[in-house]
Copies of this chain bind each other. A is one copy, B any other.
């Protein structure tokens, strides 16, 4: 998605440790006009697929998921991060390891809102090591729902998450895949470019 790549080039900030800060338009301040374009692009990519629910994870996935859901005409469910023990039986739950925050947390979805017959599209802002997306896919599987695919705004192609998920047969559509970036020169090379 060219508009998105141009925006990443213009406003993204490369920090040490392969960190890409896009908090001016994606995950702290949020440009909802761009989100509308992103939602329509996900709809184009998954055109023809039967999807009746979008699943994301709090917090920064929620805005993109909601605006994408307008294009699909379906509800959103967001998985909650929790460190409290939950009553067995009421929720689907799995563990996710966060590299950014250096800890493991539980994510949960109420059994009321995900289950057999659901055809689910995962939406998230970032894909790097793929642990969050893997957790969401696990909740979908445990619920008996069908996983249609995953729509990602920015994939760090030099980290293993995308390859790992595709190797498992999950259709992952990333609107911008970064193959490499350089903190010193500020250069970003997207997949498909020279």
Contact = CB atoms under 8 A, between A and B. Distances in A.
Interface of A: 23-25, 28-33, 35-36, 58-59, 62-63, 65-67, 69-70, 73-78, 80, 109-110, 112-113
Nearest to A27: B78
B110 A32 contact: no
A76 B65 CA distance: 15
B70 A23 contact: no
Given A28-B77, A32-B69, 16 more contacts: A23-B113, A24-B113, A28-B80, A28-B109, A29-B75, A29-B112, A30-B66, A32-B66, A58-B58, A59-B59, A59-B62, A59-B78, A62-B62, A62-B66, A63-B66, A66-B66
